[in-house]
A and B are shown apart, each in its own frame.
Chain A
Amino acid sequence: QKEVEQDPGPLSVPEGAIVSLNCTYSNSAFQYFMWYRQYSRKGPELLMYTYSSGNKEDGRFTAQVDKSSKYISLFIRDSQPSDSATYLCAMADTGRRALTFGSGTRLQVQP
C-alpha cells in the first residue's frame, strides 16, 4: 500500500463547477500538506501548502487537512478551462525534507 493514495481520475466537470480533489495518507508523521498543479510536459507548480490540520484559502482555492482521518482536500471554486491539469498532493514531515507525492488526479474543465 502506498503512503499517499489519490484517485487518478480523469475528473471531467463543466466550467464554473466546484471541484473537490482528495488524498488519503497513512504516515501520521506528515505535518506539511501541499497541492501542486502540473500541466502536460511541465514541472509541478506549487498551489498551496498547509501545516498540520485546518483550512487555508487562496482566491478560488481552498485546502483542508483532517489529520484525525488522514485525509486532505483541495476545492476549486468557479472552475475554468485553464484549470485543466493534473493535481498532485504532496506531504512531508519535519524530520525529512523529501516530499511524498500522490499519483495525481487529472482534471478536465469543459467550456
Chain B
Amino acid sequence: GAGVSQTPSNKVTEKGKYVELRCDPISGHTALYWYRQSLGQGPEFLIYFQGTGAADDSGLPNDRFFAVRPEGSVSTLKIQRTERGDSAVYLCASSLTFDGRTLFVPQQFFGPGTRLTVL
C-alpha cells in the first residue's frame, strides 16, 4: 500500500491479557517508530527501529511493553498483562533514514493507529 497500515484498528481486551499490535510501514522506509496517544494529548514516543534493531527504546514505560521487527519491515508491539492505564491509541510511523542529502530525515509518516481499550 501507499501509506503506513496498522492492524487491528480497534482492540478491546480485559485487564491482564496479552495483546499484539501490528504495523506495516511504507515500502523502503528503514526507520520505524511507535508512539502512544492518550485522549487530549499529543503522541508520546515509545521505541524506534533502524532496520531490525531497536535503536532507541527509552520511551517504553515498563517491561510489559516489547516490540520486534524481525525482517526490517513489519513490526509488532506486544503488551503483556495489560492494565486499564494502557488504554490509548497506538500509532506507528515510518521514515527514510537517509534522503540523499542528510543523515537526519525528520519527516515521519503516521498510520491511522490502533485504538486499544483495556476493560
Contact = CB atoms under 8 A, between A and B. Distances in A.
B48 A97 contact: yes
A90 B4 CA distance: 19
A34 interface: yes
Interface in A30-87: 32, 34, 36, 41-46, 49, 51
Interface stretch (B14-22, B78-86, B106-114): B106-114
A97 B43 contact: no
A103 B40 contact: yes
A88 B35 CA distance: 14
A34 B45 contact: no
Interface of B: 4, 31, 33, 35, 40-45, 48, 55-56, 58-59, 91, 93, 95, 104, 106-113, 115
A8 B111 CA distance: 23
Contacts of B35: 99
Given A97-B33, A104-B41, 4 more contacts: A43-B113, A90-B42, A98-B58, A104-B42
A49 B58 CA distance: 24
Contacts, number: 65
A43 B91 contact: yes
A4 to B, nearest CB: 8
A98 B56 contact: yes
A44 B92 CA distance: 10
B22 to A, nearest CB: 15
A25 interface: no
Given A42-B112, A43-B4, A46-B109, A97 B42 contact: no
Contact of A96 (B4, B41, B56): B56
